[in-house]
Structure 1
Amino acid sequence: MPTTPPPAKTLDGEPGRLGTLVRAALPAVPGVNQLPGVRKGPARDFAGLSYRREQVVAERARVDAYASVCGFPRRDVVPVTYPHMLAFPLHMAIMGDPAFPYPAIGMVHVENAITAHRAVGVGEALDVTTEVGPPRPHARGVLLDFVTTVTADGGTAWESTSTYLRRGRTIEGDVAPGLEVPDPPTGGVEWRLPADLGRTYASVSGDANPIHLYPLTARALGFPRQIAHGMWTKARSVAAIENRLPDAVTVEVAFKKPVFLPGTVAFAARRDDGGWTFAMTNPKDGSPHLVGRATPA
């Protein structure tokens, strides 16, 4: 049975992107995955894990580079999705920790919910904590919720939950329904996405998962060619309606079918009671890549 979760571990300084990714990938390598410091513990004993970064600055150059890739304007506050960039090294640190029972390779980001309690200024110093608890059941495996809290001046400025699916053996318990977005809009404006979008987004996010980079690296992991990052599809969707959203807002999305690169997607948004419903779809058949909603927080 899981025991009490350990206290949060601190990542000091600037986390090494390549080193963090390599450490997270090693448990998927046969033979290597049995070495001390790499070998994963049993899932039944996993009580949770937490990492934090202190006084992380939302630097102007990085915010502007991210905004440019995702379609946001240059402003004195960060895009509502940007704090995820500050949390991503914590996600990878957790997945690379031997106490975390699953390899990072094969973790599928299926849902993401962000609540911004206020605008975060460029240049602000932020404390960022990400924690994950024991897995919960899913029809195709287990789900793990990575919960991030961003604080400044003693108050919570931003929160998110990134839900990952690990396919395989499930566990006992009731399967909770995922995000439901009734009657998402279809059609709308079309965006042509270049072949190097995954590499461009990786350069500003630190997420260099091979499935996003090149056809060869994507095929090695079961995809016919590289796919866009799910968090890019969310950021680009939010950028399209950002000027209609309040500073205090909750944006929830479910990632559906992958977006292959190069490719064309359609984006549509509809104002509903109390907020917006939006979707990114395949313009040929209307099948969804992403569905979401934004409501005042």
Structure 2
Amino acid sequence: MRPRDVLLATLPPVLWAIAYTVAKPAMERFPPLFLMSIVYAATALALYRPWQLRLTPLWAVVAAATLGASLQSALIFSGIARVPATMAILTVQSQVPFAVLAAWLVGQEQTNARRLAGVIIALAGVTLVVGLPSSVGESGGLALIVLGTLCWGIAQAIIRTKSQDSGARLMGMMAAIAAPQLLIMSLVLERGQQAALFQATQSQWGAVAVLALGGFVAAYSIWYGLLRQHRVDQIAPFILLMPIFGVLTAHVLLGEAITPVVLAGGSIILIGLILVVCTPTAEEAVETKPLPLDVGNIG
């Protein structure tokens, strides 16, 4: 990967960590699926342009939105409600190996032992940063989270192989599909939506805006743009930076301490990412073929 793309790939985890930390007040007020439907609706308003020609097959957009946005959000947030926070954060990182595996099965991407070793090393670093689970009794919640990360991984493989639109335009189309899907799920499964709308404070609405604009509009536009040009097993491991940036954000904004164990875990994650980024496969050593870029219609 070019240094510029490596730098860009670090931005989504930074934005996600900041957005989710800042958005904590909103998550306390809004039912989770309802909150995500609002976030995706705001994302669609910012990015979706229905008059622009769609280049990606419609089935691929619908599948990616349903798997990588709606079902992922529903499953993961439902699982998080049943397990301790540290266990949830650690389990969510399973989306990285799932994405690499799905790219191999769905997208026919080949990988190698050194790159897979980098993913495993980085996951070990995540375990240090987040902490080992304190119990294993919440099997139902863990199963929901794992299913959600599996859905996300399959969606990444579909996007990598089928997307022909810019990252921003693809995210806009996916958000336009995911928003009504999540709203329907919220109305069926949740309560308190009307109270949340009328009782939310200005700071809570501001948190929703940060989550939507930073964590979705900006972060996913960059993410899906990179995914069109690079292999899944090159891009997905950057997600493992989220715990590091989450700890740093909590330290700066909330005053939480950074321990030596966290520093050690962060160093291990970086070592694993170096192996992922700097280890070409045999086919990459011969020729790198990014997916066609629609330069003239970004956004």
What TM-score, normalized by structure 2, do the two folds share? 0.28
- Higher RCO structure, 1 or 2 (CA under 8 Å, sep 6+): 2
* Greater helix proportion: 2
